[in-house]
Amino acid sequence: MPALTAAIANLKGGVGKSTTTVMLADGLAHYYGMNVLVIDLDPQANSSQMLLTEQGVQAASDQGKGVHHVLTHFMAGKPPSAAPFIMPNAVTLEELRRAEEQDAREGWISSLPAHPQLRLLELNLEEEWYSRSGTPTTLSESLGKFFREAFEPLQSLYDVILLDCPPHLSPLARAGLSLADVFVTPTIADSVSTWGTKQFSDWVGKFIAPDLAKRNFVVITRFRDTKYARSVASDLREIYLKDRWFGPTIPESVHVLNAMERAAPDSYDTFRGKYAGVTGDVRRLAERFTDFMTQRTGVTWAKVRH
Amino acid sequence: MGEGKALTPVEYLDRFFDELRDEVRSNPKLAERLVKALGGEVVFDDDAKAEIANPFALATGSKAKFLSVFSSMKAGDIRKILKENNLATRIDMAGKSTDQLVEMMYNRAAMKVQERKSVF
């Protein structure tokens, strides 16, 4: 069964794309024993940092791991390849680490991390491409083809591939979006995020996925329980993004922000320790997304942990 | 919290639904959300509609339906809805008749829906 590729994306910044990516990766690996690959296409490298730490992101880059190395291959005209650039262990959960230690792997997270260098490389690539009369569209198409071929051998190794996308439409970001089977859209219950989400939704619908409504999973994040936020959340569900799948509403949590900062590359925490007050929300996120996956692929998943 | 008396599963459920029924009677917004979640159509009761009628949701339908819900409301209720939904300021509403307020509510709510609703 090939992996389901999900792009976690929105043109609005600050809506919790990276946090949602990590929550999904943790939830799917922990509760359903899925083998998850997180590909970070955002040069801000936030989800990479959350999974590997800053030191880990730098160490990965020094070892030749990361999306920017895949891009270097593309620029050098080398054959498409991604597997050698993956960090095979980006697990922060004690339960997964312990199971692996006991040769009973039930759920795992690997990372194809980003690095701030990625943006500079993208700029160099764009400059070179446009100097040869290429256009942003031909570049994103060419990158999309390269990535599709590079990721092909990974399809049988993972259950789900999460693409953490940047809040813009660079050729690399567009290439990433073109690979997605489904689109996870984190948003915040306020008017500017609603408007940004509409822009993103309309763009993806027009250029990539005309059947977006069926392939879209929306998560309202950083929810502050006010009358205004409840009203916007309700309008998102019932009017603006009607007929989409909605995950649970994830509350604003200082604990989560802190938990997303991994202490060190060899630091682990239990699922409950990491997510504390939002443990139930992350569990529901994994459950609801798994239902969504089942509806898309026909494959059912049983929980391996409760 | 417990009363020290063991209840049968049916008694527990009866209590739960009694609580739910009471809440739905006294909380029209919850009632509206529950009915919608169950796939039903909300019927606007005169006493409750000022509290639950959503101009954005209604602006996605016909203008006639929109007017049928809001035109019979008192000016004070219309002003409250306009204000609470960020559809008008006190300055915008000053000196306007009920009909003008409803017209403004429809135009602005319809514009917001167009700005925010995905076409896909």
Closest CA to A186 of A115, A107, A285, A278: A285
Q: Are residues B39 and B58 in the same domain?
A: no
Contact residues on chain B for A194, CB-CB shorter than 8 A: 116
Q: What is the DSSP string of chain A?
A: -PPEEEEE--SSTTSSHHHHHHHHHHHHHHHH--EEEEEE--TT-HHHHHHH-HHHHHHHHHTT-SHHHHHHHHHTTPPP--GGG-BS----BHHHHHHHHTT----EEEEE---THHHHHHHHHHHHHHHTT--HHHHHHHHHHHHHHHHGGGTTT-SEEEEE--SS--HHHHHHHHT-SEEEEEEESSHHHHHHHHHHHHHHHHHT-TTHHHHEEEEEESB---HHHHHHHHHIIIIITTTSEE-PPPBP-HHHHHHTS-S-TT--B-HHHHHGGGHHHHHHHHHHHHHHHHHHH------S--
- Using CA atoms of A280, A281, A284, A290 in order, give the dihedral in degrees to the nearest 10: -130
- Give the pLDDT of residue B46: 65
Q: Are residues B70 and B103 in the same domain?
A: yes
A95 neighbors A32 (Cβ within 8 angstroms): no
pLDDT by residue (tens digit) across A145-199? 999 999 999 999 999 999 999 999 999 999 999 999 999 999 999 999 999 999 9
Interface contact B120-A240, CB threshold 8 A: no
Contact residues on chain A for B120, CB-CB shorter than 8 A: 201-202, 204-206, 209-210, 212-213
Interface contact B33-A213, CB threshold 8 A: no
**Residue B96 CB coordination number (10 Å):** 17
**Interior CA angle at A1 toward A106 and A34, to 5°?**
20
Q: Are residues B21 and B50 in the same domain?
A: no
Q: Are residues B103 and B64 in the same domain?
A: yes
Q: Are residues B94 and B36 in the same domain?
A: no
Contact residues on chain A for B108, CB-CB shorter than 8 A: none
* d(C-alpha A217, C-alpha A247), whole Å: 7
Residue A10 predicted with pLDDT over 60:
yes
Write the residue in A191, A202, A231 that is nearest to B118 by C-beta.
A202
- Give the pLDDT of residue A60: 97
Residue type, A149: E
* d(C-alpha A226, C-alpha B14), whole Å: 31
Contact residues on chain B for A190, CB-CB shorter than 8 A: none
How many domains is chain B built from? 2
Q: Are residues B52 and B20 in the same domain?
A: no
Q: Are residues B1 and B36 in the same domain?
A: yes
A245 neighbors A4 (Cβ within 8 angstroms): no
Q: Are residues B71 and B114 in the same domain?
A: yes
Interface contact B56-A235, CB threshold 8 A: yes
User: Which positions of chain B have pLDDT values less than 50?
Assistant: 1-2
- Give the pLDDT of residue B1: 47
Write the residue in B60, B117, B120 that is nearest to A205 by C-beta.
B120
Output the pTM of the full model.
Answer: 0.88
pLDDT by residue (tens digit) across A78-119? 999 999 999 999 999 999 999 999 999 999 999 999 999 999
Q: Quick one: closest CA in A to B57, which residue?
A: A239
- β-pairing, A35-40 vs A108-112, is parallel
Q: Are residues B29 and B13 in the same domain?
A: yes
Last residue of a domain, one of B10, B25, B43: B43
- Mean pLDDT score across all residues of chain A: 95
- Give the pLDDT of residue B2: 47
Q: Quick one: closest CA in B to A195, which residue?
A: B116
Q: Quick one: closest CA in B to A201, which residue?
A: B118
- Give the pLDDT of residue A254: 82
Please name each of the domains of chain A with its CATH number. Answer: 4-296 (3.40.50.300)
Q: Are residues B38 and B96 in the same domain?
A: no
Write the residue in B33, B54, B116 that is nearest to A195 by C-beta.
B116
Q: Which domain holds residue B38?
A: 1-43
The DSSP bridge partners found for residue A246 are: A218
Interface contact B117-A204, CB threshold 8 A: no
DSSP conformational letter for B120? -
Q: Are residues B13 and B60 in the same domain?
A: no
- Give the pLDDT of residue A70: 97
Q: Are residues B54 and B102 in the same domain?
A: yes
pLDDT by residue (tens digit) across A27-79? 999 999 999 999 999 999 999 999 999 999 999 999 999 999 999 999 999 99
Chain A residue set in contact with B, beta carbons under 8 Å? 191, 194-195, 197-198, 201-202, 204-206, 209-210, 212-213, 231, 234-235, 238-242
E strand or H helix at B107, and its extent?
helix B98-116
What is the percentage of chain A residues whose pLDDT exceeds 90?
93
Interface contact B56-A198, CB threshold 8 A: no
Residue A134 predicted with pLDDT over 90:
yes
